[in-house]
């Protein structure tokens, strides 16, 4: 007689539903898509942008992920974005080079659920208008010996939400802003997927 009682397998919570917003080339969006392919922790279910030329629109079909271009009124009061995020049952919003400010209504409805990446060691060289090469130019002009990248939660103020992870690198003698940008971007690609995964894991455990 078989007296063996089958062990109850611990129920695995479904992957956290992730949306990525990206305005530019989308290299961070791409490394995130690669990282979460087949993951039990997170699933990227939506790509979105306000820029009809964003790189994400080119590679979204490769990953079979729907990509949305926002209509002009999308950022007026948050209603459009909230409806979109709800309709895709998004649990974590990841900004990857997204240039528009996220409306307060969205931030309030997604507390500690919106992540951003910034190419400097915040709080230094952040804030409105600090993006792209401008950040790296400012770092070099100030003669900083170190720069790096910051991953933080998004709150109502540009680049001021709670910091989740930072990594620094030395600014080389005579380094150009372009070279610094490349070096920082490499760091971003290395750490953004791992950090998003850690945050998703926390959400997955909390929601179980
Ligand atoms: C990155 O440097 C990121 O830190 C900043 O915008 C840039 C986006 O680059 N927020 P990409 O579009 O992911 O290549």
Q: Give the tens place of pLDDT for each residue, 91-147.
A: 999 999 999 999 999 999 999 999 999 999 999 999 988 999 999 999 999 999 999
The Å distance, Cα 61 to ligand 1 centre, comes to 21
Please report the atom of ligand 1 found closest to the CA of residue 149.
4
Ligand 1: does its nearest atom lie under 6 Å from the Cβ of 103?
no
Closest CA to 97 of 115, 117, 71: 117
Ligand 1 geometric centre to CA of 39 (Å): 23
Atom in ligand 1 nearest the alpha carbon of residue 55: 12
Q: List strands edge to edge, sheet with 146-153.
A: 67-69, 42-49, 16-21, 92-95, 114-118, 146-153, 163-170
Binding site membership of 183 for ligand 1 (Cβ less than 6 Å) = no
Residue 148 Cβ < 6 Å to ligand 1: no
Q: Is 27 in the pocket of ligand 1 (CB under 6 A)?
A: yes
DSSP code, position 70: P
* Active centre residues (catalytic): 118
- Using alpha carbons only, how large is the chain's radius of gyration in Å? 19
pLDDT for residue 1: 47
Distance CA 118, CA 156 (A): 16
Q: Ligand 1 centre from 126 Cα, in Å?
A: 13
Model confidence, pTM: 0.93
Residue 43 Cα to ligand 1 middle (Å): 21
The pick from 54, 97, 136 for probing ligand 1's pocket by mutation, whose C-beta has the most ligand atoms within 8 angstroms, reads: 97
Q: Please give the average per-residue pLDDT across 27-36, as a whole number.
A: 98
Report pLDDT for 90. 98
Which one, of 123, 121, 77, 118, lies nearest residue 98 by Cα? 118
In the DSSP assignment, the letter for residue 88 is T
Q: How far is CA 149 from CA 14, 32, 111, in A?
A: 30, 16, 22
- What's the DSSP call for residue 135? H
Burial of 115 (0-12, 13-18, 19+ CB in 10 A): buried
Residue 95 backbone phi and psi in degrees, to 5? -90, 130
DSSP for residue 153: E
Tell me how far the alpha carbon of residue 82 lies from the centroid of ligand 1, in angstroms.
24
Q: How confident is the model at residue 5 (pLDDT cuts 50, 70, 90)?
A: low
Q: Which pLDDT band, with edges at 50, 70 and 90, does 59 fall under?
A: very high
Tens of pLDDT, residue by residue over 159-204, are: 889 999 999 999 999 999 999 999 999 999 999 999 999 999 999 9
């Amino acid at each position: 007689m078989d007296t063996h009682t089958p062990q109850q397998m611990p129920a695995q919570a479904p992957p956290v539903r992730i949306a990525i917003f990206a305005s530019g080339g989308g290299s961070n969006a791409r490394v995130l898509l690669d990282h979460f392919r087949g993951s039990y922790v997170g699933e990227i279910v939506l790509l979105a942008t306000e820029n009809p030329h964003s790189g994400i629109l080119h590679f979204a079909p490769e990953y079979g992920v729907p990509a949305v271009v926002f209509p002009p009124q999308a950022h007026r009061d948050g209603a459009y974005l909230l409806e979109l995020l709800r309709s895709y049952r998004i649990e974590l919003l990841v900004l990857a080079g997204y240039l528009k400010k996220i409306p307060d209504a969205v931030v309030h409805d997604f507390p500690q659920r919106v992540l951003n990446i910034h190419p400097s060691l915040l709080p230094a060289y952040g804030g409105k208008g600090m993006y792209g090469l401008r950040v790296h130019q400012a770092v070099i002009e100030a003669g900083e010996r170190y720069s790096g990248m910051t991953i933080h939660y998004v709150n109502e103020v540009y680049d001021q939400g709670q910091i989740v992870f930072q990594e620094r690198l030395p600014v080389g003698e005579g380094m150009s802003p372009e070279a610094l940008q490349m070096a920082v971007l490499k760091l971003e690609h290395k750490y953004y997927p791992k950090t998003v995964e850690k945050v998703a894991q926390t959400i997955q455990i909390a929601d179980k």
